[in-house]
Amino acid sequence: METEKETDRVEKILAAVAVPSLDARAKARLKGRIFMRLDYPIVESLRKAASNTHVSFYDAVRIKEAVFAVITQKKQKWFFWENFFALQKKVFAGVLAVLMSFSVFSFMTFDFSVARADSFTVLNSYKGYVSVLRDGKVLSVSENMKLEEKDQVVTGDDGYAAIKFFDDSMSRLANDTVVVLNKLDKVDDSKVRSYVEVSLKEGRLWTRVLNLVQSHSSFTVEANQLYVTAKKAAFDVVVDDKKTDVQVFNHVVDISGSSVNKAVSGQKVTMDDHKKVSVGVLSNTEKNDDWVTTNLNDDKKYLADTEQRLLAAKVESVGVKAENASFGNSLKENAILFLTFDDVKQKKIELDLSEKNFVTAQLVLSSATSSEEEKAKAKDALDKFSVDVKNFYTFVGVVSSTDMKYAEELNKYVGDKILAQKKGLSLVLPDSLLYAAKVTLDDLETSGNLKPEDLVAIKMDNALGKLSDAQEVVVEGNKEAFDIAFEGYKNDVKDVINVIQDMPAEQEFKDKLTKKVISDIDFAKSVTTTDKGISDLKTVALGVKDVEVPVVSDATKVIPVAKVSSDDSNDNTMPVATSAVPETKSDERNNADEYGVKMNGDKVLPPLIGK
């Protein structure tokens, strides 16, 4: 009983305590302290959650019925607009239904970009002894194990490991190799912006870099402070006690940390233990090395698998297969457009729908069962996407007159869309009907409001991409495809030269850009030994101003050929995309074909260029 009395007294005392009163400033301070102590991005999480919120059709119908029930049961006398316009309940309900539909559609967005790269780097496969060191601890390994920055991958005497990077590049470690993953940077969580850097401490590392389409993206291998950087290439790096070797088997790599700044397919760069660097050509022994031929074959399989994955991703992104493809808008898509009253959002939706048709066109053109009529419609869809992107850029120009910051955001929006599609087509070659879409995206990438120096950089990247495409198809003996890519390369270079000539800049800056262009023109000689108009390009470039350019000797010219493994004699032998260097001895050149190249003694490269 005494205890109950005590409890009653405590209750009375507590009831008498006034509720604490906080003004707006005090509440804001209290909220701020709470948020500061929370190690979690609440605002960003709420924003993402809101953007991903969708109202299902079932829930929308239930909400509508509940609203109508309330309207039926109770006259809405308090509603000003009903009294003012004398609206009836049914009219008001109809207006409310339209508003609800508009609200539901406002939550809906489109994303037709092709899912290309994984969001993380993995140990794709391994054999023998392989270990991963992380934070000083040795981890047990497994296939598709996620790898992180600063991880160290080690192979033993019988070890082998393949690392698949988030940008789709592939590195393979030979036995007795140590590699550190220095940087795995996915800039701004972008689908196309990336920077990867690995260090080869010892051993041998083969790397195949797929086409990194964004101008500031790159893949770098560091070995004894020699940095090998590529946007698209196949190269092998070897580190031992006496020297560091870089051997290039596809396209071109940039070299820093030495007097050499570039190496092309068929060349090797060697740095001895005194840091002295020399450049040479790959010998037949080096080109026919088992490690090299195995990796070239593995690359070919990997590229084919990646292309199939991209095609499957495109099917998933539009939700239809090629045989069921349609280029018109659905009822829901037209309703979204009709009920969107914001000009910017409407332009975005129109561009999204045009992108959907652009991806659908790729499916149609890649299908062997598509009719000529369907292919014609697909090509029209490619052209319409080009027009819609350019119209969007024009609209952005109008926005920039009143809000430059918002215009930059819109520029990034459409630019990322172009790069994402370009990434999805990076493996397409000129012998494919899809190459027209790839060329269209190259053109659209330079349609925005760019600084002249940025325009030059993008144009030269696109030109070198076409040159790489020419290098790929020349191996297969396809002269027509080669001419398509090579003519595209020359046209891009001419555009670059015109931009440099017309830009309002100091002559010294123009000279610097011109030297870079001429250096890239010299790379074209690694694809063909015939002139094909290269000398004319160089003459026009030099016409910008007299620029001192190092002479490139014939010994540095590299010609892609098809190499057939000596131990395979049947017709199913797969040609390997590698490079051969013309022999410099006159008696051998006189007995060779018009390119100065022989294959395994008797078989010569079929005529492709200059015919």
DSSP letter string, 172-208: EE-SS-EEEEEEEE-GGG-SS--EEEEEEEEEEEEEE
**How much of the chain is helix, strand and coil, in % rounded to 5?**
50, 20, 35
Between 459 and 94, residue with greater pLDDT? 459
228: pLDDT confidence band, cut at 50, 70 and 90?
Answer: very high
Averaged pLDDT for residues 372-381: 91
1: pLDDT confidence band, cut at 50, 70 and 90?
Answer: low
Separation of alpha carbons 350 and 334, rounded Å: 10
Residue 150 in contact with residue 180, Cβ under 8 Å? yes
Q: Is 566 domain-assigned? A: yes
**Pairing, β 160-164 against β 121-127:** antiparallel
**Pairing, β 576-580 against β 195-209:** unpaired
Task: Please check the confidence at residue 117 and state whether its pLDDT lies above 50.
Answer: no
77 shares its domain with 129: no
- Residue ranges with strand state E in 317-413: none
- Please give the model's pTM, rounded to 2 decimal places: 0.66
Q: Is 494 domain-assigned? A: no
Tell me the per-residue pLDDT of 311-359, one tens digit each, with 9 for 90 and over.
Answer: 777 777 666 666 667 777 776 777 777 777 778 888 888 888 888 889 8
Q: Which of 69-83, 422-436, 466-480, 563-577 has the highest mean pLDDT?
A: 422-436
Task: Please check the confidence at residue 492 and state whether its pLDDT lies above 80.
Answer: yes
155 shares its domain with 267: yes
User: Which of the listed residues 411, 428, 448 is the one where a domain comes to its end?
Assistant: 448
Residue 247 in contact with residue 286, Cβ under 8 Å? yes
Task: Please check the confidence at residue 259 and state whether its pLDDT lies above 70.
Answer: yes
Q: Is 342 domain-assigned? A: yes
Separation of alpha carbons 536 and 542, rounded Å: 10
Q: Mean pLDDT score of the chain, rounded to an integer?
A: 76
281 shares its domain with 150: yes
Predicted local confidence at residue 571, as pLDDT: 38
Percentage, residues of the chain above pLDDT 70: 66
Residue 582 in contact with residue 557, Cβ under 8 Å? yes
340 shares its domain with 207: no
Q: How many CA atoms lie within 13 A of 547 on its CB side?
A: 23
191 shares its domain with 72: no
335 shares its domain with 290: no
Q: Is 129 domain-assigned? A: yes
DSSP 274: T
Q: Which of 257-266, 296-305, 400-409 has the lowest mean pLDDT?
A: 257-266
**Residue 141: CATH number of its domain:** 2.60.120.1440
Between 568 and 306, residue with greater pLDDT? 306
Tell me the per-residue pLDDT of 435-451, one tens digit each, with 9 for 90 and over.
Answer: 999 999 999 988 887 88
256 shares its domain with 357: no
Of 436, 452, 440, give the one whose Cα is nearest residue 499: 452
Q: Is 240 domain-assigned? A: yes
- The number of distinct structural domains making up the chain is 4
Of 119, 145, 120, 124, give the one whose Cα is nearest residue 134: 145
247 shares its domain with 130: yes
Predicted local confidence at residue 154, as pLDDT: 97
Contacts of 479 by beta carbon, 8 Å cutoff, 6+ apart:
607, 608, 609, 611
Residues spanned by the domain of 375: 320-448
**What are the tokens at 221?**
């291998």
Q: Is 133 domain-assigned? A: yes
Residues paired with residue 205 on neighbouring β-strands, in sequence order: 173, 237
Of 370, 365, 355, give the one whose Cα is nearest residue 436: 365
Averaged pLDDT for residues 37-51: 65
Tell me the per-residue pLDDT of 494-545, one tens digit each, with 9 for 90 and over.
Answer: 888 888 888 887 887 888 888 777 777 766 666 555 556 666 665 665 555 4
420 shares its domain with 362: yes
Separation of alpha carbons 39 and 345, rounded Å: 34
Q: Which of 73-77, 497-501, 604-608 has the highest mean pLDDT?
A: 497-501
Predicted local confidence at residue 578, as pLDDT: 35
Separation of alpha carbons 402 and 409, rounded Å: 14
Tell me the per-residue pLDDT of 182-206, one tens digit each, with 9 for 90 and over.
Answer: 999 887 666 677 899 999 999 999 9
**What are the tokens at 605?**
């490269």
DSSP 21: -
Residue 491 in contact with residue 483, Cβ under 8 Å? no
Predicted local confidence at residue 474, as pLDDT: 77
Please count the other Cβ atoms lying within 10 Å of the Cβ belonging to residue 250.
25
Predicted local confidence at residue 243, as pLDDT: 93
Averaged pLDDT for residues 439-466: 86
Predicted local confidence at residue 83, as pLDDT: 52
**What are the tokens at 389?**
């992107």
Q: Is 93 domain-assigned? A: yes
Tell me the per-residue pLDDT of 378-427, one tens digit each, with 9 for 90 and over.
Answer: 999 999 999 999 999 999 988 888 888 888 889 988 988 898 888 888 88
Task: Please check the confidence at residue 104 and state whether its pLDDT lies above 80.
Answer: no
Q: What is the dihedral of CA 293, 294, 299, 300, to 10 degrees?
A: 70
CB burial readout 341-351, b (16+ within 10 A) else e:
eeeeeebbbbb
Averaged pLDDT for residues 275-279: 90
Angle between helices 404-424 and 343-366 (to 10 degrees): 10
93 shares its domain with 129: no
Predicted local confidence at residue 40, as pLDDT: 59
Q: Is 515 domain-assigned? A: no
Predicted local confidence at residue 153, as pLDDT: 97
340 shares its domain with 408: yes
Predicted local confidence at residue 452, as pLDDT: 83
262 shares its domain with 341: no
**Pairing, β 233-239 against β 130-134:** unpaired
